[in-house]
Amino acid sequence: MDAPQLAFKERAAAALADGALKIAIERTTGNAERKRAAAVAAFPEFEAARARGKAIKDHVIAHLDHYLEMFERNATAAGAQVHWAADDAEARAIVTRICLDAKARIVTRSKSMLGEEIGLPHALADAGIERVETDLAEHIIQLAGERPSHIVWPAMHRTREQVAQLFMSGHDPAPAADDPATMVQSARRILRAKFLGADVGISGANFLVADTGATCTVTNEGNAELTTTPPRIHIVTAGIEKLVPSTAHAFALLRLLVRSATGGEMTQYTTFHHGPKRAGDADGPEEKHIVLVDNGRTRMLGDEFRAMLRCIRCGACMNHCVVYRQIGGHAYGGTYPGPMGAVLTPVLDGLAQSRDLAHACTMNGRCAEVCPVGIPLPTLLRAWRRRSWRERLEPGSVRAGLGLWAMVARRPRLYRLASRIGVRALRLMGRRGWVRSLPLAKGWTAYRDMPRPSGRTFMEQYRAEQAGRRTPE
């Protein structure tokens, strides 16, 4: 346990001590929660749409090989080159090689969590390629030298006041004022020049449409279109779970995705990118490459985490998570934070590194309640706890304590005796109704008082009363 566990707790403690972070998280997630609630309330068929979305994803997952082949065939027919990456290292190597073969100096990138998952930003830097993040929030992250803290709003951990400071020092020339409009204008000016000078544009995909071979991106800024259209080469990196059978299925899921993510009905920009520029097209890339990334996903097909492959990356689970809303995304330590990240990070980084994530959850079920594709997130987190227990990753003290408790709890008579002794001991430790300090439960009494028990268990009192009141049955 040790280092990773301490690391998570330390990261969480640092986040809890950061007042500005709390303000930033509350602004974004609070807003998202209210807007989603309004969007769902205004969409009477939401439950039916959710059932359909879940069915679409389950169908694709059950026939993944079929749709992958169909997608490859149709994407290739449209003129794209399809690459297969078994893991993050292969994916990085494929993307880097395409960039180097094209002698790319500047690469623009529109927001892609899959790109973060496979470590693309570092790989490009290592290859000596200038990377320009074109999503406004990713631009902020890049200026700050950070990683995303949310899958929809990567810079949500920064208040607008902090962003103003970053732009003032990071933009040349500095923005004329620190109001949002002037700052956005400044970012736009800087990014425009890069959009037009880039050799390669890299995007993710919200959907891979099997029967057309198209890749779909959704944004509210239009930066994906400027990333994928002007450069000579467009590279898409996408997880294989992004497949849908047809465009109609993509739209069925879009209705859920946008409402669940931002509370909107539709994103400002929804684009289906269909192959490279054709003869007669006014614009478009000369080459289109699609890198299909497995990175643990086919392994999930066969285990208890299969339902997680339904995830459409809306972020609703984290917006409604009491833990995420206290500690933010960076404390989770992986690419994906919040409940969905707590399920995925052990798949990607290994359980030993991330066993805390499944435990740092109150199992309140709100994430599953808002999930637009019905992923039973608490059940999946419990599955990680089960594996962690089976693989003996839990601290020895926890195992021993629980083992002793279970041994007693399996013996009702012994249990009653232990309870009688326990409540008397606990009573002796308190005064005037409350226990203020418990050496064996400091985690409780460091922050709250423990009610002092009356000193006699229910069973004791009940049996005494029964003896006087009724003939025992």
Partner 1 sequence: MPATLPDPAGPRVGLFVTCLVDAMRPGIGFAALQLLEEAGCRVEVPQGQTCCGQPALNSGDDRDAADLARQTIAAFEHCDHVVLPSGSCAGTMVHAYPELLAHDPAWAPRARALAAKTHEITSFLVDVMGYRPQGRRLDATATYHDSCAGLRELGIAAQPRALLAEVEGLQMRPLEGNDVCCGFGGTFCVKYPRISDAITTEKAQAIERTAADILLAGDLGCLMNMAGKLHRRGAATRCFHTIEVLAGRADGPAIGEEG
Residues that bind partner 1 (CB under 8 A): 9, 12-13, 16, 322-323, 326-327, 359-366, 368-369, 382, 384-390, 394, 398, 402-403, 405-406, 408-410, 412, 415, 419, 422-423, 426, 432-434, 441-444, 446-454, 456-459, 461-462, 473
Burial (CB count within 10 angstroms: exposed 0-12, middle 13-18, buried 19+), residue 261: buried
Q: Which helix (H) or strand (E) holds 91?
A: helix 88-101
- Residue among 265 and 369 whose Cβ is closer to partner 1: 369
The residue (of 75 and 361) whose beta carbon lies closer to partner 1 is 361
Q: Enter the tokens of residue 21.
A: 């972070």
DSSP bridge partners of 362: none
Nearer to partner 1, 134 or 388 (CB): 388
Name which of 198 and 368 has its Cβ closer to partner 1. 368
The tokens for 360 are 């740092």
Instruction: Quote the least distance from Cβ 367 to partner 1, whole Å.
Output: 10
State in angstroms the smallest separation of the CB of 305 from partner 1.
15
What are the angstrom distances between the C-alpha of 294 and each of 67, 69, 80? 14, 14, 19
The single-letter DSSP state of residue 231 is S
Beta carbon of residue 14, minimum distance to partner 1 (angstroms, whole number): 10
Per-position b or e across 125-145, b if 16+ CB within 10 A of its CB: eebebebbbbbbbbbbbbbbe
CB-based burial, 73-96: b 16+ in 10 Å, e otherwise = ebbeebbbebbebeebebbbebbb
Task: Return the amino acid letter for 424.
Answer: R
Give the integer Cα–Cα distance in Å for 440 and 453.
16
- State the minimum distance, in angstroms, from the CB of residue 377 to partner 1: 12
Q: In terms of CB distance, is 73 or 382 closer to partner 1?
A: 382
- Taking the complex as a whole, how short is the minimal distance between the CB of residue 422 and partner 1, in angstroms? 6
What 8-state DSSP symbol labels residue 431?
Answer: B
273, burial (CB in 10 Å: exposed 0-12, middle 13-18, buried 19+): buried
Q: How far is the CB of 311 from partner 1 (least distance, A)?
A: 20
Indicate the residue among 169 and 454 with the shorter CB distance to partner 1: 454
Tokens read off for 38: 């309004």
**For partner 1, which is the closer residue by CB, 173 or 447?**
447
Smallest distance from partner 1 to CB 68, Å: 32
- Residue closer to partner 1, measured from CB, 13 or 174: 13
**Whole-angstrom Cα distance, residue 205 to residue 17?**
36
Residue 210 DSSP symbol: T
CB of 386: closest distance to partner 1 in angstroms?
4
